[in-house]
Amino acid sequence: MRVAGLHARASLRELMRMPGYVVPTLGFPTMFFLFFAAPGSDDDATTLMVVFAGFAVLGVAFFQFGVGIATERATPWERYVRTLPVSPTQRFGGRIISALVFAAAAAALVLVAAVLTTSADLRAPQWGQLAVALLLGSIPFALFGIALGYLAPPRAALPIANVVYLTLSYCGGLWTTPDELPDAVQQLSPYLPTRALADTLVGIARGDPIQREAWLVLALYTGALLALAAWAYRHDEGERYR
Amino acid sequence: MTAVARLEGVSKSFGQVCALDDVSYEIPHGEIVALLGPNGAGKTTSLSLLLGLRRPDRGTAQLFGDDPTRPVTRRRLGTTPQEMAFPGTLRVDEVVDLVRAHYAEPPSTESLLGRFELGALGRRQTGGLSGGERRRLAVALAFAGAPELVVLDEPTTGLDVEARGAVWQELRLFVSSGGTVLLTTHYLEEAEALATKVVVIDRGRVAAAGSVDEIRARAGAGRISFRREPLPSNLAGDVSEDGDRVVIHASHPEEVVRQLVHTGARLQDLDVRPLPLEEALRLLPRGS
């Protein structure tokens, strides 16, 4: 745990000193919210706030895991770190802690911007539920990011992550609310993990009971993506470290 | 003498390419072992097996008598990879601190940086280091955990003469205080100056192993030269001409000289000297 913390601290330091990473990762979802969601929002301000918070957390899951792993995996530094007495679990622990910090910051920015500029608001227990839902709901996406990081060539990871991130976010209803999507997208949407995430978040915003079906979908995706991520990780080890 | 690390009958292929074919060598405690061989011979691949970065297809790789792919096995190991780039925005002292934190009794960051003449660079971001400074930091990191064995892949490539001498000095000091070193090098003079034992790898096989003297003895121990004159045809050596002189590389130069004296050769300006390791390696019988 101590070693995982040290790796997290090093990774946070490294990233914090790269404005080119920090500003877009943290600012992009908030900017999107302020441009496209906040104007004209009224009754649905709270719903829009929570789905955009989901959008923000997803970005960190895709980019910090996916793009981060893909670009690091080919570096001499990564090869060197693998000769240190550190286990893969400790390294993943470090990655997760550092991603959590960024995800929390990105989501907090959206929430603050929404509360300040729109009529969005939640009751105290709802804020707590939102935090838990964002944390649990982002797990399958972090796993997808890990799989992408180990499967995609370093230069391809960023464009792939972008396309998947934006497409899934839109089709899942993280930029509008799920029921405002065009018909064609509505047909596809229920099968997407982002839609399940959106449903859980919207449920919390509306004070509905727990969205069992959406959570089940997320759990299924988590299982499948865990298998894919584990396979991708071992495949990488196999290719380069047999 | 106990072996700190050993490869036993290891083979390793990458697709169709066989990088190592039934390679065995060991690193005895307290020695400086130099791994020599041309580019692509399999030196770095064999190191990656000892460091737990890869697993052999066949055979076993052992580090401190244990499996190198287990993180705990690597607690007494320090490494310097052939190429090194650090996370560019981290400072030198931050990188050193991160690496030190993996070990039980690391030396202080200041003393480590001081030993490798990096003392003034602690607050510098690693992205701004020169090639030589990066190389020295990479070597310094191998010592960040007070290791018992350091494995250095071409530790002095790209260093100037002075910095190379300083690294040599550190390695000798390390061994005299009970450490063990395995290094690869392209510089034969580095192996000659530093190594107590040499393992020659060529095309994925161990071509020769032993002390520098033994390798030299096996390869052909001496170089004889004298003013040109007619020679008998059955000399036990490799004859060539250099200007007005005859040059003979021979595994037993004294026998060649005896033979020449018997045939009444004049041997004007006779010169007999041991072969530099570089020439000795070139004369090694393949696959011996």
| A2-40 residue pLDDT tens | 899 999 999 999 999 999 889 988 999 999 999 988 888
Strands, sheet with B3-14, edge to edge from the N-terminal-most edge strand: B17-28, B3-14, B58-63
8 Å CB contact of A82 and B53: yes
**Which alpha helices (DSSP H) does B150-244 contain, by range?**
161-176, 188-194, 212-219
- Give the model's pLDDT for residue A113: 96
State how beta strands B245-250 and B222-227 pair.
antiparallel
Q: How far apart are CA B17 and CA B20, in angstroms?
A: 9
Is B164 part of the contact surface with chain A (CB cutoff 8 Å)? no
Q: What is the end-to-end Cα distance of chain B in Å, rounded?
A: 25
What is the spatial distance between Cα B170 and Cα B242, in angstroms, rounded to a whole number? 40
> Over the stretch A141-200, which tens digit does the pLDDT of each residue have?
999 999 999 999 888 999 999 999 999 999 999 988 778 888 888 888 989 999 999 999
- Residue B14 main-chain phi, psi, to 5 deg: -115, 105
Q: How many CB atoms lie within 10 A of CB B69?
A: 18
Choose from A12, A73, A75, A77 for mutation: most chain B CBs within 10 A: A77
Is any Cβ of chain A less than 8 angstroms from the Cβ of B180? no
C-alpha pair distances (Å), A27 with each of A8, A13, A45, B78: 22, 18, 19, 41
Task: Show residues of chain A in contact with B72, CB under 8 Å.
Answer: 85
Please, are residues A47 and A128 in contact by the beta-carbon 8 Å criterion? no
How do beta strands B238-242 and B32-36 pair?
Answer: unpaired
SS3 content of chain A, % helix, strand, coil (to 5): 85, 0, 15
Contact B54 A3 (CB under 8 A): no
Cα(B165)–Cα(B151) distance, integer angstroms: 18
Encoding tokens for residue B57? 């297809």
Cα separation, B76 vs B82, in Å, equals: 20
Nearest CB to A84 within list B94, B99, B138? B99
Cβ neighbourhood burial of B96 (10 Å; 0-12, 13-18, 19+): buried
For A40, counting Cβ atoms within 10 Å of its Cβ (0-12 exposed, 13-18 middle, 19+ buried), the class is exposed
In angstroms, the separation between the Cα of residue B40 and the nearest Cα of chain A is 16
In angstroms, rounded to a whole number, what is the distance separating the alpha carbons of residues A100 and A121? 23
Nearest-10 Cα torsion for B129, B135, B136, B141 = 100
CB B267 within 8 A of CB B260: yes
pLDDT of residue A242: 36
Which chain B positions have a beta carbon within 8 Å of A85's beta carbon?
A: 71-75, 77, 102-103, 145
The CA distances from residue B166 to B136, B148, B159, in Å, are 10, 20, 10
- Say yes or no: B184 contacts chain A, CB-CB below 8 A: no
User: Rounded to 5, what percent of chain B is helix, strand, coil?
Assistant: 35, 30, 35
- Identify the CA nearest to B6 among candidates B47, B71, B61, B84: B61
Q: Give me the interface pTM, i.e. the ipTM.
A: 0.84
- Looking at residue B288, what is its pLDDT? 41
Q: Name every chain A residue with its beta carbon within 8 A of the beta carbon of B86.
A: 77
Hey, what amino acid is at A125? P
Q: 3-class DSSP state for residue B184?
A: strand
Minimal Cα–Cα distance from A5 to chain B, Å? 10
Mutate to test the interface with B, among A83, A234, A242 (most CBs of B within 10 A): A83
3-class DSSP state of B235: coil
What is the distance in angstroms between the Cα of A57 and the nearest Cα belonging to chain B? 25
Say yes or no: A17 contacts chain B, CB-CB below 8 A: yes
Please say if the pLDDT value at position A238 is more than 50: no
Compute the distance between CA of residue A98 and CA of residue B198 in angstroms, rounded to an integer: 45
Q: Take residue A122 and report the two structure tokens written for it.
A: 């939640």
Which residues of B, range 230-249, sit inside 8 Å of A by Cβ? none
User: What residue has token string 């050993």?
Assistant: B6
What is the token pair recorded at A8?
Answer: 């997290």
| Chain B residue nearest residue A87, CA to CA | B71
Q: How confident is the model at residue A235 (pLDDT cuts 50, 70, 90)?
A: confident
Which residues does B89 contact at the CB level (< 8 Å), separation at least 6? A13, A14, A17, A18, B125, B127
Residues 6+ apart with CB under 8 A from A192: A168, A171, A172
CA–CA separation, A19 and A16 (whole Å): 7
Is B84 in Cβ contact with A85 (below 8 Å)? no
pTM (2 decimals)?
Answer: 0.83
CA dist B230 and B237 (Å) reads 15
Helices (H) and strands (E) in chain B, counts: 9, 13
CA A144, CA A149: separation in Å to the nearest integer?
8
Take residue A90 and report the two structure tokens written for it: 């400790």
Q: pLDDT by residue for chain B (288 residues), tens digit each?
A: 579 999 999 999 988 889 999 999 999 999 999 998 878 889 999 999 999 998 999 999 999 999 999 999 999 999 999 888 899 999 999 999 999 999 999 999 999 999 998 999 999 999 999 999 999 999 999 999 999 999 999 998 888 888 889 899 999 999 999 999 999 987 778 888 899 999 989 889 998 888 888 877 766 668 888 998 878 777 777 788 888 898 888 878 888 888 888 888 888 899 988 777 767 676 665 544
- Cβ A83–B75 below 8 Å, yes or no? no
Nearest residue, CB atoms, A3 vs list B53, B54, B101: B101
Place of tokens 């060991």: B26
pLDDT tens, position by position, A113-133:
999 999 999 999 999 999 999
Which one, of B179, B224, B226, B219, lies nearest residue B202 by Cα?
A: B219
